[in-house]
Amino acid sequence: MFKVKQINTYLAKKICAKMKVFRTINFSLLCFLCFVSLKGLSQEVTISGTVVEEVSGQPLAYATVVIADKATKQSITGAMTLEDGTFKVTTEASNFLIEVSFIGFQTKTITTYSINNENVDLGIITLTEDAEQLGEVLVEAEVSSSQFKLDKRVFNIGKDLSSTGASALEVLNNVPSVNVDIEGAISLRGSTGVQVLINGKPSILTEDGGALGSITADMIDRIEVITNPSAKYDAEGTSGIINIVIKKDERKGINGAFSLNTGIPDNNSFGLSLNKRSEKFNLFTQLGFGRRVYPRDSENINEDLDTGTSIVSVGEDLRVEKFYNITLGTDYYINPTSVITLSGNFAYEIEDQPSDINFKAIDASNNVTSEWNRSETTEATNPKWQYELVYKKDFADHEDHDLLLSATGNSFGKDLESLFQDTTISGTDRDNTQNTRTDYSDNTYTFKLDYTKPFSEIWTMETGAQYVINDIGNDFEVQNLVDGVFETDLGLTNNFEFDQKVLGAYLIGGYEYEKWGVKGGLRLEQTDLTTTLVTTNESNNQNYTNLFPSIHTSYKLSNAISLQAGYSARINRPGMRELNPFFNIRNNFNIRQGNPNLKPEFTDSYELTSIFDIGKTDLNFGIFHRFTTDVIERISVFEDNVNISMPENIGTNSTIGVEFNTKYSPAKWLTFNVDFNYNQFNRKGTFEATIFDFNGDEWSSKLMAKFKLPADIDLEAVGNHRSRVKTVQGIRSANTFLDIGVRKKILKDKGVINLSIRDVFKSRFFENFITQGNSEAYSWSRRGRFVAIGFSYGFGKGEAMEYSGGKRR
């Protein structure tokens, strides 16, 4: 065809040369007519049509259309369908065929067509789902997998069986390098200084670890673990950032799934997920409601070594929850490169929190001198709002050239009332009645701008800014029953206000070419914090500005081996719970309170990671070092066998550790995932003339085994072990626990029956020993075994899910 063009052009030039004598308008016109007539010897044909699904009739966007030579089957040209399924492609070939294909559908080949006026109108082209191909895709999607990028690790969430009916906390506990203890505290590589984000932004749900229970396993697309964040990210979090990315289904048509779950202890819920996609809009919603019960057993012993006296308390408490939540959102596609997203979430919880604790006062001869019971009746309502407006612009010159603007608001309220009654069983009169009232509100507003500009395929610039406003109030009142009338205890009552504003801006330059890449940046953050005790008119103001540099590099030694290295500076600002000096009086012999004078922690973080891709095995090995100043530790002080713990800034902590994780599939029916983390630390610090200098180490490991059994049954077992570790004032015990899950697909893989058992042997517990001066404290608690069974069904193009609609604490 190229030769034909050459001949045509050559002849046109010859004709024009022969006619040079005509230097008039007629000459120009004649040359033009000759060229056009010769050009017409090679005809250009336009092929057009619309590709749709056979069953639903919905258009298929991004289907592939190939024009190939009929004789050789070699591709000539091609195109992809637009959002509405239409396509248009041109060719100068005269003997061609058309192939239309899309993942999950049977390829259609068209060899018969009509050419009318150099146009081929194929009309509506229907594609049929390929059941075998779809089955293969779904099987691959079952398994969670890790992916390494220059400055983070991405853990893509599969349908892990032990996460049936589980919350984000259980899912996080299966992510390499991440641990979640029984109280919901999240740690990364053994450190609790972690910032948890949702879709890259702070959320009210991450302020309290337990609140993450309102995000369920089926809602999560992936979890990004950023152990050494670049300057692009908020500098908050001394040990790194965990970013939970929520799914947003964008398949065309109406798609969805529902689930029903029940379990022991009482655990009943219903969840529904719906999505409708059209050319301009993507509408999505998730609904959930149910009732759950979370029991906990606990034991505490406070002992005065000088007098030999002690207070022993053994009890149990329940958290009974009714919950309702709804998410609504829409994407509006302004044009092919711009989209606006508006979404909102509302959750409402009704809580009943009864507890029953038996106390004994024991003398030096081990005799019980007094015994009494403390019962609690607590009712609370928790409304939660989250709303977000996002604008994203993708520029046409490069796929990574984009602009993102977002505004997010989070609001959480708690209206709580508790009644405590002490009833004497024997010995000293302990009868007492107390009433507490809590009016809590937490409002967070985040405004963010991110801009990425690639100057070439190897040079990239990133810049942006963020402004976060935290406005929190905690109005807390304690009343004592005196002569039949409740009187306010002024020593325990106050209104604490927390107002923090953080303004940040960053600039990053990146270079990445073939085997080597580097990314360096600098972030500036200015913090303005004011805390106020309204009743006593006491305030504390902190205003500081900091620079946070970061640098990351990677080198590909071969197709199987890569190296990554990084450095970043981090900050851990104390939050409302650490700063608020007032406390819960559930157990008035073990009191936790905050410290409004706390300063932030600062950390320098270094790491080197090697990545191996060897056949059936992915293996990752890394070493890391963190140095933290003004470390925040809880310090216990004892008085009359009452343990009062308060956070304080205690010296420095230097940690060096190793991390290893791998995935190995020795057979098609068996896959292992292994995660191991070990670190040694050196603590130095002094508090009120007490020196806290010591060395210690800790380690944790996780083993996940997945089995594919006959009859399309899947089995998964996840074992966890956390070592004993020395703390500033004592020791935290080791523990080992196991979660298992079983799944069976039914109804042509549209339905799924799941069974999960978390903490199979009831061996997951929290145990802590504290020694301070001449006093000792022992604490132990356990949630126990949870069994859940569920059924889910997907309709449209939706897939069955494990949505539980509720929360797990």
In a domain? residue 785: yes
Instruction: Quote the pLDDT of residue 276.
Output: 79
Which positions ≥6 away from 572 have C-beta within 8 Å?
Answer: 193, 236, 237, 238, 600, 601, 602, 603, 632
Instruction: Quote the pLDDT of residue 520.
Output: 95
In a domain? residue 332: yes
Helix (H) or strand (E) segment spanning residue 234: none
The DSSP symbol for 728 reads S
Instruction: Quote the pLDDT of residue 28.
Output: 39
The reply to whether 119 and 263 lie within a common domain is no
CATH of the domain at 73: 2.60.40.10
In a domain? residue 225: no
Instruction: Quote the pLDDT of residue 173.
Output: 67
CATH of the domain at 672: 2.40.170.20
Q: Which residues of 539-576 are buried (b: 16+ CB within 10 A; e: fewer)?
A: eeebeeeeebebbbbbeeeeeeebebbbbbbbbbbbbb
Chosen domain end from 83, 98, 130: 130
Burial of 456 (0-12, 13-18, 19+ CB in 10 A): exposed
In a domain? residue 58: yes
Q: Tell whether pTM > 0.85.
A: no
In a domain? residue 33: yes
pLDDT tens figures, 768-790: 999 988 999 999 999 999 999 98
Instruction: Quote the pLDDT of residue 699.
Output: 95
In a domain? residue 193: no
The reply to whether 791 and 644 lie within a common domain is yes
Instruction: Quote the pLDDT of residue 169.
Output: 66
Give the residue among 79, 60, 84 at the shortest CA–CA distance from 68: 79
Provide the β-strand partners of residue 452.
402, 462
Taking a C-beta distance cutoff of 8 angstroms, is the pair 485, 472 a contact? no
Chosen domain end from 109, 130, 151: 130
Give the residue among 621, 525, 516 at the shortest CA–CA distance from 572: 525
Domain count, the chain: 2
User: What's the CA gap between 212 and 189, in Å, rounded?
Assistant: 20
Domain hosting 63: range is 2-130
Give the residue among 57, 182, 232 at the shortest CA–CA distance from 127: 57
- Give the number of other CB atoms < 10 A from CB of residue 640: 10
Instruction: Quote the pLDDT of residue 504.
Output: 97
Chosen domain end from 81, 101, 130: 130
Say if residue 336 is preceded by a cis peptide, omega within 30 of 0. Answer: no
Instruction: Quote the pLDDT of residue 226.
Output: 79
Give the residue among 287, 433, 298, 263 at the shortest CA–CA distance from 347: 287
User: What's the CA gap between 706 and 447, in Å, rounded?
Assistant: 42
Residue given tokens 């507003």 in the structure block: 445
Instruction: Quote the pLDDT of residue 655.
Output: 96
In a domain? residue 356: yes
Report residues of the chain scoring pLDDT below 70.
1-42, 103-104, 130-151, 157-170, 173-174, 176, 179, 181-185, 189-193, 200-219, 238-239, 247-253, 279, 616, 796-809
In a domain? residue 218: no
